[in-house]
Amino acid sequence: MPSPALEPPRNRLKRSAELTLCACVLVAQSMVAAINLLIPQLSSSSVHPSPAELLWTVDAYVIVFAGLLIPAGALGDRYGRKGALLCGLGLFAAGAAVSSLATGPAQLIAGRGVSGAGAALIMPATMSILVRTASPGQRPRAIASWALAAGLGGFAGNAFGGMIGQYLPWRALFWLMVPLAALLALAVARTTPLTETSAGAAVDPLGAALLTGGLFAVLFGIIESPMYGWTSARILVAFALGAALLGAFTAHALRSRAPLLDPRVFRSRRLRAASLGTAASFFGLFSLFFVNSQYLQYVKGYGAARAGLAIIPLTAGMILVPKLAARWSGSPRPLVGGGLLLIGLGLLGASTAGAGTPYAAYTCWLLVISAGTGLSMPALALGVVTSLPPHQAGLGSGLGTSAREIGAALGVAVTGTVLAAHQEFASGMAAALRIVGLAVVAAAALVTAWYGAGAGRTSPPAAVRVAAGGDADELPYEPSRT
């Protein structure tokens, strides 16, 4: 009888369940970006947030979301993925309701944080359910759909937030999320199968507290750095505290018999490469999101709705290219390296845009970035999840999504810092996109090298490869179990 870690999925994934899970991902990810286009409304609203409170209104969701992802994934693996997903949708709706009723900045920020906690439960649970219920033949397509939904969430947030910012009061964004989350919960209850819980998935309360605290501190330092400066005492203390907590987590995990996340998983070159590639792609995408709406509104003179819709060309490659890339899913190295290279080159091209640049020319660079994202994102998502044993699929999804959110936060922080150093927006945008584009190109070279390292080794038994959804030589160890 096969061990639980290698037991293949028993049921084929139904299309209705796949669409429902991907819709949950899209909605959770969209709330990262949607709030950005409501900042002008919020700043003049009856809530009267200060500039610092506006920043926290945007960032509270991201910090809680990213900080809780890995523990939330482990909780779903251990106690039930469908239950974790339904709880996440409930928290997401509750936070949106609190934000919509806010009479002051503190209530608005608290609501955003509660919604972020819900999103932290949603994202790893959806990926884990897909991995556990899809047959080996379905798995690459299912993970590509999940990655597409996560990527489209940013674009949906821009478009949706822009429409609300121009035509509706800001509270409408949060009110609409409440019935939408309820509809998704009903769809999950009706379409999504239960999956077996994983007794071997460790929750590790002390490890979860250390890891979450460390990630919170690092994210705080990244997100606040544009306002206070990278060398300010506040930011340096945040980074030092984050490093200390993450160091303590590493020491604890190496000693523990059942750690939340064993640091030795990063012996896998595939996992290191996929995590870095995921962070680099979102580093580039969210840098573009941060400057795009401002460029189109302040430099090109677009309204909020038009600016939100003008980024839609970015969706073209993400929808069309993965279908083509699926033909080469067995050779992820060129997909990942080539995709990241296209993202970097597209950002370098977009850095040349100015007031006189026709929108059609600007769109060409968006299409290059879109094609690169469509090539690399599904392979990167698959690389993270299949680098861990199947019973830790939720933990793997949490790790991959943490890389996304940390990359996104760093992209916004670096871009904001560069913009603050320039008096004119156009010159600051050009400098920021050049820096970010070059960083993504460098990451593409490193990720490609890691993906290629160790090629040609003897393949493991077919049963192991099928159960893991990838090469078992990328599973360097089997974690201790309780």
pLDDT digits (tens, 9 = 90+) for 81-99: 899 999 999 999 999 999 9
Whole-structure pTM value: 0.76
Give the C-alpha separation, 246 to 263, whole Å.
11
Q: Which residues does 301 contact at the CB level (< 8 Å), separation at least 6?
A: none
Low-confidence ranges of the chain (pLDDT < 50): 1-10, 454-482
CA distances to 214, 238, 429 from 233, rounded to whole Å, are: 18, 9, 27
pLDDT at position 376: 86
Give the C-alpha separation, 189 to 182, whole Å.
11
pLDDT at position 3: 41
Asked whether the beta carbons of 389 and 202 are under 8 A apart, the reply is no
CA distances to 151, 218, 367 from 407, rounded to whole Å, are: 13, 12, 21
pLDDT at position 455: 40
